[in-house]
Structure formats: C-alpha cells, structure tokens
Structure 1
Amino acid sequence: MKDIFVRALHSINDHSTLIDFRPVSGGDINEAYILRTEKQEYFFKYRKNPPENFFKLEQTGLETIKITNTIAVPTVFAREENGRYGYLLMEWIEGKRTNITSEMLGRNLAAMHQWTGHGFGYSEDTYIGTLIQPNGFYDNWIDYYRERRLLPQMNKAYENQYFSLEFRKKCEKLLEQLDKWLPYKIIPSLLHGDLWGGNWITGKNGTPYLIDPSILYGDYEFEIAFTELFGGFPRKFYQAYNEVMPLSPEYPERKPLYHLYYLLVHLNLFGTSYLGSVARIVNHYI
C-alpha cells in the first residue's frame, strides 16, 4: 500500500517524506487511511476492483456540491481507477462540534436544496453502497421515483426471493398509486442522496461537511426523510432547516414512502432483518 500512497502523493507534487499512515474508519466497502507528510495530512480512500466509475462519481458529487458554495465538502486532490484498484486522495477533515454545528448543517443543507436542476434524476447511473442506481432525467418526480428508485429495488428484492408473489403484486399496486401521496409540481433540488448520520462530519470551528454523496435532483423532502430514518439528526438541525426550507403539511404522510426506498436498499444489501419494515410501509398504504 505504501507504494500506492506515494504514487498518489507524487501525482499532486507532494514529494515530501511520508511520515506516517494508519487505517481509519471509511465505511463498509472501502479501506481508508490518514496519510501524514511533511507538507500536510490527507484522507485516502481505497478499494480493490471497484465498479466502473465508482470513485469518479463520488468525486463528481463532491465537486458539484462544492460549486453551489452552500455547504462544505472535502477537496479531492487526486483520483485513480485502473480496474485493479481505485482511490481518492482527499483533504483530511477534523474538528469538534460546537453549539452551532447542527444549526449550520440544517441551514446550509437547505441552501444547497435551493440549487436546482432542469429535471428529476441524474445524468449517470450512481451507487448506493454497492448497489447500482439507474438514472436518467424525468419531467416529473413521481415517474422518476417509481421507475428509477422503487421499482428496481423491488425487482431485486423479488429476485432475491425476499418477496412472495402476493406481496410483489401489492408493491405493484402501490407503485400505480404514488400520485395519491407524492408531489407532482415541485422544483428538482440538488440532493446529497445518501444523507444518514455517518455521511456528515465536523471540521475546524465546528463547520459541518458532507461526505460520500450519491447526488441526484429530486424532492428535498426525500432527503430530509432519510435523515429521520435511523435515529435522526439533532433537533436544532431540523429547526434551522425549516426556517429556510419549510416542509409541506403533507410531509408526514409521504415520509414513510420515502423511507421505503432506503429500507429496500438495506434489505437488498443486508438481508431479511429489514423485510418487516418494508412490509409495514407497503401495508400502511395498500
């Protein structure tokens, strides 16, 4: 690994001595290291045999968010994907939360959600964990959410034999009726796409940073719903967010439908422990 570290550092003209490197937490599917040279510290994310464009998409997502000048993301210094392995060499972010960190996160995320696109979806297929997310741009959010989010994951769950034929038919009935609960006339907001509690970190002066995006343009309430799925974010986050981007009165009724996508993803990634939660949501609506 040291040879790869040095190769990456030399690619950005850091030829100073690599003083130290050690593994750090980097998620379930990648190796991660902190590299310390005489010049500065870096975060190095590495994966053997990555899927096509795996790190390219992450870099593009970070750079797209950065362009909005709304919320902080780490700078990517270098990337390589050669079939055998791939990596991102990035800015090392480290800091402690302050009493305004959660408020900053809510306010800055709301500002990012005001950055809009010309359609719903994204120009390239992306990844959530190791699962492919088919994309493309749609004129309305309901069709995109049905055809590019829920349906592929439901199909995969059925192929994995998690669904009975009877339950599969119930899912199809739900897909046919999404317009009862989901908004039609909305503006496509730039979304992080995988915003759970592990995908934001704190930098200097308590500044919140987003990491590991899987970006798309969609309903901003889809993003907020995911923040509430596994434990939720701090209360001050939601208060600050709502001051900038108030949630609709219909949000509580559609929130489980937005949870459904991420629970289907977890079902397909991690197995049947998520099947009960999926079934409860489908049965709630159908």
Structure 2
Amino acid sequence: MEIIKKTLSRIGDDSEVQKQTAVSGGDINQAFYVQTQSQEYFMKTNAGVPSHFFQVEAEGLQAIQQTGTIRVPEVYHYDQPEDGESAALLMEWIHSGSMNDHASLGSQLAHMHSHTNASYGYGTPTFVGQLDQPNTWAPSWVDYYRTCRLGAQLDIGISKNRLTSKRRSRLEALMNKLDQYLPAHPKASLLHGDLWAGNYMMDEQGRPVLIDPSILYGDHAFELAFTEVFGGFPSDFYEHYQEVLPLPVHYEETKALYQLFYLLAHLNMFGESYGPPVDRILKHYTG
C-alpha cells in the first residue's frame, strides 16, 4: 500500500518493506503489521477521519508514557489529514506474550492514576469508539461529567433516535441532580478513558501494555467502574490496584452512574440491545 511506504519515508525508514500483513485493529481502522529491513511496526490507517483523529490517540499514549508507570507503544508518526485524505498512525510493534499478569496491571494502573491535574476533563476533543467526545477543562468534576459525558451522549442519542421519551426524561432528571451523587472535587487522575479487556495486552515478558486510550483527568472510580461493565477483570487486578490506591468510599454508590456513560455510548453506537441496562440504571437513580 502506498500509504505504508509514504509513512515510513516520513520517519526516515526507506529500507525495503519485507512484510506487510493485515491484523486486527478494531472496527474503525485498517491495521497492519509492517516489517522493514530496519524494524517492525504497527500501523493504523483510515480515510475521511477528522484531522485530530490519530493525534489524540498519539497524545494519549505519550501522556501515559510520560508517567513512567505502565508500558505503551512508542509513537513514531501520526497524520493530521484534511478533506478526506488517507491518514496513518505508526507505532512500535509489541510482540504479545501468553502470561497475564493482572496483578501488575492493577498496581501499575493505580500508579498511573496517582498522576493528577488541577482541572477535570481534557483540553481537546477525543473519541469514544466511533463517537466524538467533546471536552473542556472544568473546575468541577460534576460539571464536566454532566456536560461533556452524559450531556454529549444525550445529544447523540436524540440525533440517533436512541432515547425513548421516558429514557430521555429520566436522563435529564438525573443530570439535574448529579451533585447529589458525585463528588465535586475528587483527585483529577490521569485516566485511560476506554479501559476494557480489548485495550490492554501483555508483552513477551508478561508486562502489561495499554493501547487505544481516550484520555481525560477525572475521578479514578470512573475508570474502575468501566472495567466492571463487561464481566470485570480478574480479582488480583483489583486487589493489587487497591494496595496502591484504595477505591473511594463512594465507589459502590457511584459505580452504576459511571457505567451509565459507557452504556449510553454503546447504546448510541450499537443500538437497543444496550437499552435495558441503561433503563435499569436510570430507574435506580430517578425512581
């Protein structure tokens, strides 16, 4: 593919491409393993995406890398396309291993969450799956969560006709009283933002590696709640996480409210199969 050679040339690798193979890279992008005479790479490509599509992923990986707490792929290059151009994100190829060290994943994630910021949210728009994720810096976690998380999904749900009248009214009622349930000023931890089982891996040495972030700064309970949406991580993940950073006292009370965001996003992406769990959470909080 021309874009592969073009991208490699941009980082100064003009050696012969010895192998390029399509690999699993999610539902959104094409992904390739690329081997040149010099190095192995992982490349994502897409066309017609916004100019910041790969930029925010690269910046998220670099922000996590700068904490020195948990491994992420090295980023070599990303495009900022215009007017439907094809774009690429070029990264280090990491060979996966068979050992699943969830204890290290838990403790290292907790150390990452110990890196904090003065404000909540993030300064530029990101993505949650295929959906735009608006962001802003906010002095209050409640304000950020109401506006940029639940409010954004409300707007998408209305545009996609995913919200029944009762579902919409309950969501709006819940948004109006969020301050009854959420802490206004928890520590603003650096969060991966999309941490499910498909967004981490283990390298050849069995070390955890985070991939595909959608970073923000917020309540670390928000991240942990998402890990429990689709069955949860192994118990040693949570045990070793809490040895470094205990869960807040409000975790059990707010867990479903934090999971609501991700379930709304899945409802808006994939349809009504996610409607019943959304409705159960809304009914729990609004009666």
Q: TM-score, normalised by structure 2?
A: 0.96
Q: Which amino acid aligns with 1:172?
A: E
2:53 maps to 54
For 1:280 and 1:88, the matched residues in 2 are separated by 39
Residue 177 of structure 2: aligned partner: 177
Return the alpha-carbon distance in structure 1 between the equivalents of residues 263 and 141 of structure 2. 19
Tell me which amino acid in the other structure corresponds to 2:99: T
Contact 1:266 1:274 in 2 (8 A): yes
Which position in structure 2 is the counterpart of 1:96?
Answer: 97
Tell me the distance in 2 between the aligned counterparts of 1:275 and 1:190: 30
Choose 9-18 or 105-114, whichever is displaced more: 9-18
Question: How many residues are paired up?
Answer: 284
The answer to whether structure 1 residue 38 and structure 2 residue 37 are counterparts is yes
Task: Quote the Cα distance in structure 2 between the aligned partners of 1:114 and 1:233.
Answer: 20
What is the CA–CA distance in structure 2 between the aligned matches of 1:40 and 1:226, rounded to whole Å? 35
Structure 1: tracts of 5 or more residues without a match? none
Q: Does 2:135 align with 1:135?
A: yes
1:188 to partner: Cα distance: 0.4
Deviation at 1:154, TM superposition (A): 1.6
1:47 counterpart letter in structure 2: N
- Partners of 1:191 and 1:223 within 8 A in 2: yes
Shift of 1:185: 2.9
Maintained 8 Å contact 2:21/2:32: yes
Aligned residue in 1 for 2:105: 105
Q: CA RMSD in A?
A: 1.2
Shift of 1:134: 1.1
TM-fit CA distance, 1:7:
1.6
Distance 1:53 1:89 in 2: 15
Asked if 1 retains the 8 angstrom alpha-carbon contact of 2:73 and 2:92, the reply is: yes
**Is the contact between residue 97 and residue 207 of structure 1 (CA under 8 Å) also seen in structure 2?**
no
Are 2:120 and 1:120 aligned? yes
TM-score when scaled to structure 1? Answer: 0.96
**SS, match of residue 205 in structure 1:** coil
After TM superposition, the structure 1 = structure 2 runs for residues 1-286 of structure 1, keeping only pairs within 5 Å, are: 1=1, 3-83=2-82, 84-98=85-99, 101-286=101-286
Letter in 1 for 2:68: N
Unaligned runs of at least 5 residues, structure 2: none
Distance 1:260 1:219 in 2: 15
1:141 Cα offset (Å)? 0.6
**Alignment partners' CA distance in 2, 1:266 and 1:167:** 15
CA contact (8 A) 2:54 2:80 kept: yes
Kindly indicate whether the alpha-carbon contact (under 8 Å) linking 2:3 and 2:88 is maintained by their aligned counterparts in 1: no
